[in-house]
Structure 1
Amino acid sequence: MSGTALAGARERRVSTGGIELCVVELGDPERPTVLLVHGYPDSKEVWSEVAEQLAARFHVVLYDVRGHGRSSAPVPLRGGFTLEKLTDDFLAVADAVSPDRPVHLVGHDWGSVQGWEFATVARTEGRIASFTSMSGPSLDHFGHWIKKRMTRPTPRRAAQLLNQGAKSWYVGMLHTPVLPELAWRGPLGKRWPRILARLEEVPAGSAYPTASLPSDAAHGAWLYRDNVRPRLRRPRADAYAHVPVQLITPTGDAFLSERLYDELERWAPELVRRTLPAKHWIPRTRPDQVAAWISEFVTTREEPTAKAPQQKAPGKYADRFSGQLVLVTGAASGIGRATAFAFAEAGARVVAVDRDGEGAARTAEMARLVGAADAWGECVDVSDEQAMEKLAAKVAAEYGIVDVLVNNAGIGLSGPFLETSSEDWKKVLDVNLWGVVHGCRIFGKQMAERGQGGHIVNTASAAAYLPSRTLPAYSTSKAAVLMLSECLRAELASKSIGVSAICPGIVNTNITATSRFAGVDAAEEKRRQERSSRLYGLRNFPPEKVADAILLAVVKNRAVVPVTPESKGALWMSRFMPNTLRRIARLEPRL
């Protein structure tokens, strides 16, 4: 492939309607064919990283859309980019590369707009096995979406129209004569790579964008001029997908609202939804996740027995976490175990970590039963830096880079400051603070180096902002976790890594049964543990609700998440009534 470093790429030319298309193939032609169609103003090279990953399992085909890359342009340009002619091109490529089997179609941006046409017109029936859509709606569906909001307006629908109109400002610009061509062949074409790097966080690479970008973008303006107005004015009424569809929606897309797909089930009866916390150009910014989802979707269509894992994921966040790798520390019980199960129900791959190896293994076993794509148990003490380093190396080598890290492991310690020994302080800080530091540093570094974002969740506590005369060591450790999370959130935002601090209050877990009480003998410590356990049991706030809050924090990228009512109230008081909290802290509790 010219301008790329794809190993084993085979190039051919395909003729269709007076056009010569540049087509590239990778992988074994005897395997299922995955056909990747690029968007605007791209060429096939936008897919290079995804294609390399898919080629190990599939026959991967990329082609330059007419007028782009090394494919020829129609003469004249006007009328040469209609969806009907683009469908001719697709069928010519599919017949050339996979004459006897339907292809698995994947499109991004205008490649997805084309893909919706291919997947809904009658003449392609039997040539497409599945369709994966990214960042590009059907123009017909879009037209019906607009008409519904124009003819039956409500305040919400009006807001949706205004929002999408603001996002689509560039469409009008591309309809103006001559100006887009002048801009792309002039300063915009030269600056586009820097614009992508700054606004879209697309990593720079020698293979993309290619040197043909200015002419590609100038020619591609006719995609809009030949299709957008006619289809939006007179959308097809029969634009129903005749193939299974996978929709991957980046939640940070600057050009397309998520609301465009609200009624998609009407048009695509066999629909699988995925969401990704990323911007528009996900084939470049999130190639690992894109390739994994394409691979899973294609495999479930080629191998019926492979459908089981997908069907096992009943969680409401399955579209967000299915197939992602999630590591949870302190996963043998309590909040950690509930969190591992919640991610498992969403179809994630789960690594359950705990110093109780048997407990971690049981959590992993149960996680597989409730819906995890896969799960593993690991026996590790989070306070041991070298052990955490080894764990990270093993996870990266055997399972991949972690997408979501939940630093949940923690221990309790109660007792006045003057009766708390240095050894007690060290034990609490080693687990509650240094365990979080090790996890953030080691796994966070892997996320950052991968360059495809991620999320870190640190379990703090309401004690982080609720002063107490009986919890100085524990409260200090959790306050440090809260501030560490805030600092990391600021630092890692530029790398698309979110950081959340979860602050549960009184939750019914076994931490009370294992908490230490400084300054008392063993019998008194046991009595206090039992009494605390009874009180927490009477409160009976389940750890599953904390787990739900953790998943929502990742989905919404929330910074500080108090969970229980008392935690929420304490956070509010710490901000608006700090002196009241200080006076309450002076009261001596009855033990």
Structure 2
Amino acid sequence: MTMLEGARERRVRTGGIELCVVELGDPRLPTVVLVHGYPDSKEVWSEVASRLAGRFHVVLYDVRGHGRSEAPKPLRGGFTLEKLTDDFLAVADAVSPDGPVHLVGHDWGSVQAWEFATVRRTEGRIASFTSLSGPSLDHFGHWIAARVNRPTPRRVGQLLGQGAKSWYVYLLHTPALPELAWRGPLGKRWPGILRRMEKVPADDYPTPSLPSDAANGAWLYRDNVRNRLRRPRADAHAHVPVQLITPLGDRFLSERLYDELEDWVPRLTRRTLPAGHWIPRTRPDRLASWIDDFVMSVDTERPASVAGGGPGTGHDEGGGVGAAAGALEAVGRRRRNGGTPRARRAAEWYAERFAGQLVLVTGAGSGIGRATALAFAEAGARVIAVDRDADSAARTAELSRRVGAPDAWAEAVDVSDEQAMEKLAVKVHTDHGVLDVLVNNAGIGLSGSFFDTTSDDWRRVLDVNLWGVIHGCRLLGRPMAERGQGGHIVNIASAAAFQPSRALPAYSTSKAAVLMLSECLRAELAGRGIGVTAICPGLVNTGITSTASFVGVDAAEERRRQKRAARLYGMRNYPPEKVARAILRAVVHDEAMVAVTPEARTAHALSRFFPRVLRALARVGPPR
């Protein structure tokens, strides 16, 4: 693996063949073994391995018949799960003879790793297992049987849906055809297919051994799939903690395959990722972070004599290593112990979806911004709280850490200052990486007639409410788009965006522009897997009412109107936490526009179906 600096290669003999094994990092550190899938070789892990090597002893090996490992002779019967388990144990004994290893598998690497994590003879050799895009064949067999034996419309739909996704499995069972295809045109075109369909970067992957790897690997399916699905093991219970990472855009596996997984895994941590099947290549940053967190959380629970020692095995104070997994479990415990069943399910789903993700919220010092930052923090996200008030931003970051964020940072920035936003974008990218979710929330209020609103008033409102959103989308959203691995942008507009008012010409104009900007940006970024949502709240009880400016009146009258507005909004008492929950739902479901509060939904309906009614209401002046 020439692409990895400091890699050490060795040969491990097992079952009459030699496996090519590569190691990185200090052998005294916890050992992480990465097992590749089909039709890959160990190089599929190169980006993940390089990110883990500084903190772990990282081991990769070519599965028999792949890469630089020897193939069994004959091929038929040489790829059974029993023989693959022999290979794993031989590698584990060679690279970590004195302690268990942390196992990570992708695709068929995960399929075989489920075998390793559930058979008796591997007990004590595995400390944890992270599964990516590959189910246990035993669990899959029981899943099929449950739907065949007790069919319902929903279960039959799930069965047919996964059957359609598994079209390639049937082809791989045909004699000779897969070998001819892979050694012929398919092998040549595969790199281009991955780039187009899966957005896999064009680099040194796949390797030149792909045609023979894929041809040999067809026997993984032929030697195992039919036998195990027909006669699944009844004792396939995991004897180690398991982290399940499910890419939501997987073309080959349905999320429903894991519905009953808790029956088989006593200690299960679930996480989801808006990505396709080949996440070791498309999202190595996120995988490395989650693997790091999970391994360290498991290692810190084990006795020191078992967990191993050496430099670097403790928590990293700045990165909050291990805290994401702990936060995920903590949120789950809180939700299981309190709230309605629906609220508990929602909290657990958000924790699966956002744990470990990097989220930036502007205007996070109070109101909707703070509530949104805390909602993402409760779901286990890493939070960057941005506000022009440094103390308020710091307080939000502190609260975020308390409620479950693996880490949280505060940045004092005025979103209307383009140069300050440019510096923020550079700092975020350098210190923390590319954002997964951006929430452009910062805004100010302004009330008064059009002719009382000066040019300076207009500039002030548009600079914050519109240009602040533009700066955020352009400077913080660009790296997200260039990464090519998806993400989400949320822009906080307002019900005023579609509800005209004689009292809010500047504010309403700024918010209408945010709504249209969001629609345009959503159309542009759809092809890059980035969702854009405009959130349009109505009357929400936040501090914006008491700090809004009222033009055309003296200072005493302005203070009176601010107090009256704050009192009215307080009587309405719609909490910002409800808006925050709507934001999380919108990101999960990739909604284009969400009107929050009953009055906002009513105004939106009127704007679409009865615009004359809304125009008539706009002529009514505000109460004095």
Give TM-score, length-normalised by structure 2.
Answer: 0.92
Q: Secondary structure at the match of 1:368?
A: helix
Cα shift at 1:311: 4.2
Which of 185, 189, 194 is matched with 1:187 structurally? Answer: 185
Cα shift at 1:590: 2.7
Which of 352, 360, 366 is matched with 2:385 structurally? Answer: 352
Residue equivalent to 1:284: 281
Residue equivalent to 1:168: 166
Matches of 2:357 and 2:176 in 1, distance apart? 45
Matches of 2:591 and 2:63 in 1, distance apart? 40
- Unpaired segments of 5 or more residues in structure 1? none
Runs of 4+ in 1 over 6 A off after TM superposition: none
Q: Secondary structure at the match of 1:405?
A: strand
Which of 26, 29, 44 is matched with 2:27 structurally? Answer: 29
Which of 501, 506, 523 is matched with 1:490 structurally? Answer: 523
Residue equivalent to 2:120: 122
Which of 512, 528, 540 is matched with 2:545 structurally? Answer: 512
C-alpha distance after superposition, 1:214-262 (max 9, x if no partner): 1111111111111111111110000000000000000111111101111
Q: Any conservation in 2 of the 1:140–1:235 contact (CA below 8 Å)?
A: yes
Matches of 2:460 and 2:374 in 1, distance apart? 28
C-alpha distance after superposition, 1:98-130 (max 9, x if no partner): 111111000000000001000000011111010
Which of 463, 476, 488 is matched with 2:509 structurally? Answer: 476
Which of 73, 85, 88 is matched with 2:86 structurally? Answer: 88
Matches of 1:309 and 1:248 in 2, distance apart? 16
1:219 partnered with 2:216: yes
Matches of 1:243 and 1:330 in 2, distance apart? 43
Q: Any conservation in 1 of the 2:413–2:420 contact (CA below 8 Å)?
A: yes
Matches of 1:490 and 1:247 in 2, distance apart? 32
Matches of 1:38 and 1:573 in 2, distance apart? 55
Please identify, of 537-546 and 448-457, the stretch whose mean Cα deviation from structure 2 is larger.
448-457
Q: Any conservation in 2 of the 1:312–1:370 contact (CA below 8 Å)?
A: no
Residue equivalent to 2:155: 157
Cα shift at 1:399: 2.7
Residue equivalent to 2:141: 143
> Quick one: which amino acid aligns to residue 185 of structure 1?
R
- Unpaired segments of 5 or more residues in structure 2? 302-314, 316-321, 333-346
Q: Any conservation in 2 of the 1:313–1:372 contact (CA below 8 Å)?
A: no
1:543 partnered with 2:557: no
Matches of 1:231 and 1:572 in 2, distance apart? 54
Q: Secondary structure at the match of 2:601?
A: helix
Q: Any conservation in 1 of the 2:328–2:379 contact (CA below 8 Å)?
A: no
Matches of 1:447 and 1:16 in 2, distance apart? 44
> Structure 2 matches for 1:105-504, cutoff 5 A?
105-206=103-204, 208-304=205-301, 306=322, 308-314=326-332, 315-316=347-348, 317-504=350-537
> Quick one: which amino acid aligns to residue 285 of structure 1?
T
Give TM-score, length-normalised by structure 1.
Answer: 0.97
Which of 576, 601, 607 is matched with 1:574 structurally? Answer: 607
1:11 partnered with 2:9: yes
Q: Secondary structure at the match of 1:303?
A: helix
Please identify, of 143-152 and 11-20, the stretch whose mean Cα deviation from structure 2 is larger.
11-20
1:49 partnered with 2:82: no
Residue equivalent to 1:561: 594
Matches of 2:184 and 2:603 in 1, distance apart? 58
Q: Any conservation in 1 of the 2:269–2:329 contact (CA below 8 Å)?
A: no
Q: Any conservation in 2 of the 1:10–1:24 contact (CA below 8 Å)?
A: yes
C-alpha distance after superposition, 1:487-516 (max 9, x if no partner): 222222333222111111111111111111
Matches of 1:225 and 1:565 in 2, distance apart? 57
Matches of 2:197 and 2:482 in 1, distance apart? 19
Q: Secondary structure at the match of 2:459?
A: helix
Q: Any conservation in 2 of the 1:440–1:456 contact (CA below 8 Å)?
A: yes
Please identify, of 307-316 and 566-575, the stretch whose mean Cα deviation from structure 2 is larger.
307-316
Q: Any conservation in 2 of the 1:313–1:344 contact (CA below 8 Å)?
A: no
Q: Any conservation in 2 of the 1:401–1:447 contact (CA below 8 Å)?
A: yes
Q: Secondary structure at the match of 1:467?
A: coil
> Quick one: which amino acid aligns to residue 257 of structure 1?
S
Cα shift at 1:321: 1.6
Q: Any conservation in 1 of the 2:199–2:485 contact (CA below 8 Å)?
A: no
Q: What is the RMSD of the two structures over their aligned residues, measured on CA atoms?
A: 1.4
C-alpha distance after superposition, 1:358-397 (max 9, x if no partner): 1111111111111111112221111011111112222223
Q: Secondary structure at the match of 2:59?
A: strand
Matches of 1:564 and 1:144 in 2, distance apart? 45
Cα shift at 1:310: 4.7
Matches of 1:503 and 1:396 in 2, distance apart? 29
Cα shift at 1:132: 0.2
Matches of 2:101 and 2:527 in 1, distance apart? 38
Q: Secondary structure at the match of 1:248?
A: strand
Residue equivalent to 1:533: 566
> Quick one: which amino acid aligns to residue 281 of structure 1?
W
Matches of 1:310 and 1:548 in 2, distance apart? 17
> Quick one: which amino acid aligns to residue 135 of structure 2?
P
Matches of 1:187 and 1:578 in 2, distance apart? 58
Please identify, of 359-368 and 48-57, the stretch whose mean Cα deviation from structure 2 is larger.
359-368
> Quick one: which amino acid aligns to residue 577 of structure 1?
F
Q: Any conservation in 2 of the 1:329–1:406 contact (CA below 8 Å)?
A: yes
Matches of 1:353 and 1:199 in 2, distance apart? 36
Give the count of matched residue pairs: 588
Cα shift at 1:189: 0.9
Q: Any conservation in 1 of the 2:473–2:489 contact (CA below 8 Å)?
A: yes
Cα shift at 1:309: 4.4
